[in-house]
Amino acid sequence: MSKSNVLLLRMLFWVGVPIILLLLPKDFFDDGPPLCPSMIFLGEECPGCGMTRACMYLIHFDFTEAYFYNALCFLVFPILAFAWARLFWTDWQKWRLLRQSA
């Protein structure tokens, strides 16, 4: 597989995952056992507990529920979104350069 195709697949990943998360219902991650090692081994919540659910509610603009699950999501989510967008942009730039040189 060529480097250009690998970059194209990665860009599809960077765009596809947020779209899938938007299409899933906002309470998709509410059910099931906790996956946090702190909850599993110690029975105590850590500062990150509820972050996945909080970010999912934040993506769907349900700010009250997002705050309920973890107030830190209002700080963490924009940082993650920026990092995600930057990874996409880096791959986009590399892909454009490869296409121009071919």
Q: Which domain holds residue 34?
A: 3-101
pLDDT in tens, 42-82: 988 888 889 999 999 999 999 999 999 999 999 999 999 99
Mean pLDDT of the 2-26 span:
93
* Structural contact between residues 26 and 59, judged by C-beta atoms closer than 8 angstroms: yes
State how many domains the chain has.
1
Output the pTM of the full model.
0.84
Residue 100 in this model has a pLDDT that exceeds 80: yes
73's tokens: 């999501």
Higher model confidence: residue 36 or residue 93? 93
